[in-house]
Amino acid sequence: MTPLDFRLSSRARSIKASEIRELLKLVGKPSMISFAGGIPDPTLLSVGLFQEAWRHVFAGPSIAREALQYSTTEGYLPLRQWIAQHMQQRGVPAGADNILVTSGSQQALDLIGKLLLDPSSTVVTATPTYLGALQSFSAYEPQFSGLDAPQPTGPGAPRLLYLVPDFANPDGATMSKTARHQALDQARALNAVIVEDGAYSALRYDGEDLPPIAALDAAMGGIESSRTLYCGTFSKTLSPGLRIGWVCGPAALIRKLTLLKQGADLHTATTNQMVIHHVASAAYDEQVARARALYRIRRDAMLAALERHAPPGLRWKKPEGGMFVWLTLPDHLDAGALLRQALRQDIAFVPGAAFHPDGAGHNTMRLSFSLCDEAQIEIGIFKLCDLIGRQSMAKAVGV
Ligand SMILES: Cc1ncc(COP(=O)(O)O)c(C=O)c1O
pLDDT confidence bin for 399, thresholds 50/70/90:
low
- Nearest Cα neighbor of 347 from 398, 385, 399, 397 is 385
Instruction: For residue 351, give the 3-state DSSP assignment.
Output: strand
pLDDT digits (tens, 9 = 90+) for 306-348: 999 999 999 999 999 999 999 999 999 999 999 999 999 999 9
- What phi-psi label fits residue 261: left (phi over 0), alpha (psi between -120 and 50 degrees) or beta? alpha
Whole-number pLDDT of residue 1: 67
Cβ neighbours, 10 Å, residue 104 = 22
Closest atom, ligand 1, to C-alpha of 108: 9
Phi first, then psi: what are they for 295, rounded to 5°? -70, -30
pLDDT confidence bin for 102, thresholds 50/70/90:
very high
What is the 278 CA–ligand 1 centroid distance (Å)? 22
Residue closest via CA to ligand 1's atom 6 equals 106
Whole-number pLDDT of residue 316: 98
Best residue for ligand 1 mutational test, from 24, 105, 135, 324 (most atoms within 8 Å of Cβ): 105
Q: Is the CB of 169 under 6 A from ligand 1?
A: yes
Q: Tell if the pTM clears 0.85, that is, is over it.
A: yes
Q: Is the CB of 104 under 6 A from ligand 1?
A: yes
Q: What is the mean pLDDT of residues 203-220?
A: 97
